[in-house]
Amino acid sequence: MGKALLLTALALQAVAPPPKFDSGRAWEHLRQLVAIGPRPAGSPAIEQTRKYIKDQLAAAGLTATEQAWDDQTPVDKVHMVNLIATIPGSRKERIVIAGHYDTKLFREFRFVGASDGASSAAFLLELARALKGRRNPMTIELLFLDGEEARMPDWHGTDNTYGSRHYVEAARHDGSLAALKAFVLIDMIGDRDLDIRRDANSTPWLTNLIWDAAKQKDLDGYFLADTTRVEDDHLPFLAAGVPSVDIIDLDYEQWHTAKDTLDAVSARSLQVVGDVVLAALPQIEAHLTKGIVLTGRRLRSPRPYVVTKVNRRAKRRLVHSSATYRAAH
C-alpha cells in the first residue's frame, strides 16, 4: 500500500463510526439456534449448534478455534468443546466476552433454552460482526462456552461451569492467562421483561462501568440498581484473579422450564444489552490501558514505559486524565 493510501486508511479508521449492534441479526441467530431443539453438552444437536456458530463466524470473517476435551460428570463422560474467536487488537492483552451455548438436559420435557443458552450465543455472534469492523485497542476474544449447565437436576459442587473451568486451566498451563485482563459474561439476556441486577460476586469497577454505560444510554430501567449474588461461568475467572462481570437476568419465570421459548424472549432485550456492552467497552479499555502506562501492573506492557523528555509530558497528561477519571467513578 502506498504511503498516501495508508495514511488515508488510518485517518478513515480514526473517524470510523462506532460499531452498532443489530438486534435483527441477533434475533435471527437466536431463532436458528432454538430451531435446532434441545442442545445439551455431548449431544448431536450441540454438534449441529457448533457448526452453525462456526459457519456464522466464518461469514463474519472470523475463524473459530475449538478447545475440545472429555469431562467426567456425575452422570456420564461427556465430550465438550469451547469455541474461541479472536478479533485482533493493537495489543496482545485481551478482553474475553463469553456466554454459554449448551442447554440444560431435561429428560421429562423439551427444553430449547431461548433465553438460557440461545440468547448468549446469538448475542456473541452479532457482537462478532459488530466488533470485527472496529479498530480495537486490545484483543477481543469471543468465547462460546460448553458445559455451563449441571448434568444433574441441581446446580451443585463441580457439576457445572465445565467449559469455563477448562478454559481457565488451559490458559494457566499455556501461559495465556496473564494477558487476560477482563472477562464479561453474557447469560440469559433474552427475557422480554428484561431486568438485570448487579451481581455481588462480580468485580465492582467492571460492574460500575457497565451500569454507568446503561445509565448514560437511558437504559437503567433494564439495568437495575439492586444487587443479587450469582454463581456462573465468571467464578473460575474471578478465582484466577481476572476482573469479571456477569450480565444475567435471572428474574425469568420461564427459567429451566418448557416455556423458555421464542415467545418469552425479545429482540429488544438483545438490543438493550448490545447497546450497553458496546457503550461500556471503550470505558473498560480505557480503564485497562491506563493501567499499562501508569503502573505497568494492571496490564503487562510488552515494552516497558521509559520516561523520556518527550513522554514525560504525555505521562503528566495521563496522570491528570486518570485522576479525573477516578474522581468521576
Binding site for Zn ion (CB under 5 A): 104, 116
Q: Which CB sits closer to ligand 1BN, 136 or 244?
A: 244
Other CB atoms within 10 A of residue 35 CB: 11
Residue 146 binding target from ligand 1BN, Zn ion, none, CB below 5 to 8 Å by type: none
**Helices of type H across the chain:** 3-14, 23-36, 44-59, 120-132, 162-174, 204-216, 235-239, 267-294, 309-328
Q: Which CB sits closer to ligand 1BN, 148 or 212?
A: 148
Residues 6 or more apart whose Cβ sits within 8 Å of residue 316: none
Q: Which CB sits closer to ligand 1BN, 99 or 291?
A: 99
Q: Which CB sits closer to ligand 1BN, 131 or 188?
A: 188
Binding mask 198-237 for ligand 1BN (x = CB under 6 A): --------------------------------xxx-----
Residue 93 binding target from ligand 1BN, Zn ion, none, CB below 5 to 8 Å by type: none
Residue 275 binding target from ligand 1BN, Zn ion, none, CB below 5 to 8 Å by type: none
End-to-end CA, the chain: 43
Q: Determine the Cα–Cα distance for residues 273 and 234; give it in Å rounded to an integer.
A: 18
Minimum CB distance to ligand 1BN, residue 176 (Å): 26
Q: Which residues pair with 186 in a beta bridge?
A: 247
Q: Which CB sits closer to ligand 1BN, 71 or 285?
A: 71
Residues 6 or more apart whose Cβ sits within 8 Å of residue 33: 39, 49, 52, 101, 117, 118, 121, 122
Residue from 71, 126, 141, 187 touching ligand 1BN (CB under 6 A): that is 187
Residue from 95, 188, 196, 277 touching ligand 1BN (CB under 6 A): that is 188
Q: Determine the Cα–Cα distance for residues 265 and 188; give it in Å rounded to an integer.
A: 10
The amino acid occupying position 26 is: A
Q: Determine the Cα–Cα distance for residues 171 and 244; give it in Å rounded to an integer.
A: 16
Asked if residue 106 binds ligand 1BN (CB under 6 A), the reply is no
Asked if residue 155 binds ligand 1BN (CB under 6 A), the reply is yes
SS3 for 66? strand
- Beta strands 91-100 and 180-187, pairing class: parallel
Residue 188 binding target from Zn ion, ligand 1BN, none, CB below 5 to 8 Å by type: ligand 1BN
Count residues binding ligand 1BN (CB under 6 A): 9
Residue 155 binding target from Zn ion, ligand 1BN, none, CB below 5 to 8 Å by type: ligand 1BN
Residue from 45, 152, 224, 250 touching ligand 1BN (CB under 6 A): that is 250
Strand segments, DSSP code E, in 101-243 are 138-145, 180-187, 196-199, 223-228
Distance of CA 236 to the CA centre of its chain: 14
Q: Determine the Cα–Cα distance for residues 208 and 241; give it in Å rounded to an integer.
A: 18
Query: In the complex, which residues of this chain contact ligand 1BN (CB under 6 A)?
Result: 116, 149, 155, 187-188, 230-232, 250
